[in-house]
């Protein structure tokens, strides 16, 4: 009988110890925490950058480009928020380093008649910066920011088609026209450099070029951006010369230089239950060629809207209903990029309301078609 009492006592004591075990309770709490779903909005600070296994990010507190950020921010989020799981989302503000030095002139290219046709430029010319960007994106998909292409192309200026040759710079993922200060053209002489076709101090170049742009573009409108490439002789590096690019914006009175400080950008991430993944939205801005293709598809079903779009390269809201805009954009996107489940597109298009405006359509591939995506 005594032995039975002892055994019962041990069982009761063990049960009591287990039910009051603080470590066990803590483990249960941690497991519960791992299923938490939260929506975050954060800006990476120095401590957050230092969590990256990439030495450059940890040391310089910035990323090289958006793709670089998409690949490395998930690691930082996992270390910052180890308890968060599936259903969590984060809007992350981060910095991209913006040096001014150019990289390489990767090609000297003339657009061929066949290339205009292949990309849907019916009239065999470009008439907007977006047209040039579309061509070079398809021609050089592996180019890096600040690469340059010397491009010869046909340009419609509103009254006639002319041949132009320009240095086009890839800047933040978009190809943009630039003005090149060239030897023998009078540029450097006009800038007070005499026969020296280079600058040896960046501050002198930045100041004088900003003034020179007023002479080059006397009718510029506020908000216009202009890239300028100049030759820099670096005496700190033994007198080597290389191209540098400056980007100015006209404020209505003066050309204001964008300095080389980091650019602030934002990305969205979601937790899929295993890891953080970057939002895969592709931003698609309609070009002149895109409007012409859409207009042609609606010559029968919406002749007035088609005619207007052909002329003005936008959606006249008195001729295109919201439903018809959605239908036309999804149809056109489907022809260009057959739907892939989970792939999102944010389409930006121009409107006339009356008055110039713009609209967006956010869609996602699902079950072999595009449907509206709601955040």
Query: Is 281 or 366 the better-scoring residue by pLDDT?
Result: 366
Whether the predicted pLDDT of 28 surpasses 60: no
Q: What average pLDDT does the segment 88-92 reach? A: 92
Q: What global pTM score does this model have?
A: 0.44
Q: What is the pLDDT of residue 100?
A: 55
What's the rounded Cα separation, in Å, for the pair 229 and 225? Answer: 14
Question: Is residue 160 classed as helix, strand or coil in its secondary structure?
Answer: coil
Which of 137, 244, 135 minimizes the C-alpha distance to 180?
244
Q: What is the pLDDT of residue 255?
A: 95
Q: What is the pLDDT of residue 14?
A: 46
Tell me the average pLDDT of the chain.
86
Q: What is the pLDDT of residue 332?
A: 96
Whether the predicted pLDDT of 321 surpasses 70: yes
What's the rounded Cα separation, in Å, for the pair 50 and 334? Answer: 42
Q: What is the pLDDT of residue 197?
A: 93
Question: pLDDT tier at 25 (50, 70, 90 boundaries)?
Answer: low
Q: What is the pLDDT of residue 101?
A: 58
Q: What is the pLDDT of residue 10?
A: 44
Q: What average pLDDT does the segment 47-58 reach? A: 91
Share of the chain above pLDDT 90, in %: 56
Tokens 């290219």 locate to: 109
Which of 167, 260, 257 minimizes the C-alpha distance to 213?
257
DSSP 195-258: T--SBS-HHHHHHHHHHHHHHH-TTPPTT-EEEEEEEEEEGGGTSEEEEEEEEEEE-SSSEEEE
Q: What is the pLDDT of residue 206?
A: 85
Query: Is 12 or 262 the better-scoring residue by pLDDT?
Result: 262
Q: What average pLDDT does the segment 75-99 reach? A: 89
What's the rounded Cα separation, in Å, for the pair 87 and 103? Answer: 41
Cα separation values, 258 from 93, 100, 199, 320, Å: 20, 10, 18, 39
Question: pLDDT tier at 27 (50, 70, 90 boundaries)?
Answer: very low
The structure tokens listed for 27 are 């483990």
Query: Is 119 or 4 the better-scoring residue by pLDDT?
Result: 119
Question: pLDDT tier at 345 (50, 70, 90 boundaries)?
Answer: very high
Q: How do residues 225-270 score in pLDDT, each as one tens digit?
A: 899 999 888 786 777 787 888 889 999 999 998 765 678 899 999 8
Domain ranges of the chain: 105-263, 280-372
Query: Is 151 or 239 the better-scoring residue by pLDDT?
Result: 151
Burial state string for 35-59 with b = 16 or more CB within 10 A and e = fewer than 16: eeeeeeeeebeeebbebbebeebee
């Amino acid at each position: 009988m005594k032995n039975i009492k002892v055994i019962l006592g041990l069982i009761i004591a063990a049960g009591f110890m287990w039910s009051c075990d603080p470590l066990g309770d803590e483990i249960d709490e941690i497991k519960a925490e791992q299923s938490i779903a939260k929506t975050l909005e954060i800006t990476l600070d120095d401590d957050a950058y230092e969590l990256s296994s990439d030495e450059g990010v940890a040391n310089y507190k910035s990323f090289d480009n958006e793709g670089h950020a998409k690949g490395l921010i998930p690691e930082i989020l996992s270390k910052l928020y180890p308890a968060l799981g599936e259903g969590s989302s984060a809007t992350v503000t981060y910095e991209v380093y913006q040096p001014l030095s150019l990289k390489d002139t990767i090609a000297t290219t003339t657009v061929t008649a066949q290339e205009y046709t292949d990309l849907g430029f019916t009239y065999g010319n470009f008439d907007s910066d977006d047209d040039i960007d579309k061509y070079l994106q398809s021609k050089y998909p592996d180019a890096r920011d600040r690469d340059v292409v010397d491009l010869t192309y046909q340009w419609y200026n509103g009254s006639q088609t002319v041949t132009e040759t320009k240095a086009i710079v890839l800047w933040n993922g978009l190809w943009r026209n630039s003005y090149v200060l060239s030897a023998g053209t009078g540029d450097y002489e006009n800038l007070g450099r005499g026969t020296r076709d280079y600058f040896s101090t960046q501050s002198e170049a930045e100041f004088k070029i900003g003034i020179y742009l007023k002479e080059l573009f006397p009718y510029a409108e506020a908000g216009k951006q202009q890239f300028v490439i100049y030759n820099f002789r670096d005496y700190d590096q033994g007198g080597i010369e290389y191209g540098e690019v400056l980007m100015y914006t006209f404020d209505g009175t003066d050309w204001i230089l964008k300095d080389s400080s980091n650019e602030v950008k934002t990305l969205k991430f979601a937790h899929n239950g295993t890891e953080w993944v970057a939002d895969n939205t592709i931003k698609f801005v309609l070009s002149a060629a895109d409007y012409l293709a859409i207009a042609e598809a609606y010559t029968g079903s919406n002749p007035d809207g088609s005619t207007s779009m052909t002329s003005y390269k936008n959606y006249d809201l008195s001729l295109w209903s919201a439903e018809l805009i959605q239908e036309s954009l999804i149809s056109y996107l489907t022809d260009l990029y057959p739907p892939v489940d989970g792939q999102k597109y944010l389409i930006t298009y121009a409107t006339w309301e009356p008055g110039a405006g713009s609209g967006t359509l956010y869609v996602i591939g699902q079950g072999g078609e595009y449907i509206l995506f709601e955040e």
